[in-house]
Amino acid sequence: MALFICLSFSISAQAQRPEKAFGIGFQAGNPSGLAMQFFRDHGVSTDILLAYNLEDFLFLNMHALWQTHLDQKNMTHLFYGPGGFIGLRDVDNSENNFDEFEAGLSGNVGLNLIVKRVEFFGQVTPRFTLIPDTKFNWGGGVGIRFYI
């Protein structure tokens, strides 16, 4: 019985990211890039994606995220929140000659699984471009982050 109690506490502790942890990793999808998060267990986490669409787009996407625990061990979460993006686009497909600035609003919703200090995630990111013109598109991907 004592062994079971010890194992229960250790599994639960392994599923936790530390409060105020910083996570860094990679997202593969549309777009792909460096995925970072300033995690807060109680309150709003800040999610940052520095990405490059291999065709023509370099941008920074930031979101304020809330999370809902989906299991008793706090290993699986639903996360969601609003954000925004800024970016540079190569309109005429020249060799990395970014000639257009873009900015807009975005949202983020997804699921993650936490194992020790490693997060596996999948997310969908609707984006509404406001500058230079208005348009709607989708992004998202799957990724992994390591928390320190």
pLDDT digits (tens, 9 = 90+) for 36-94: 999 998 889 999 999 987 667 888 999 999 999 899 888 999 999 999 999 988 766 66
Rounded Cα–Cα distance for residues 70 and 113 (Å) = 10
Buried b (16+ CB within 10 A) or exposed e, 3-41: eeeeeeeeeeeebbbeeebebebebebbbbbebbbebbe
* Encoded tokens for 140: 């998202």
Domain boundary assignment for the chain:
2-147
Token look-up 């502790």 returns: 13
Structural class in CATH, domain 2-147: mainly beta
pLDDT digits (tens, 9 = 90+) for 83-113: 999 998 876 666 657 778 999 999 999 999 9
- Rg for the chain, CA atoms, rounded: 18
This prediction's pTM: 0.82
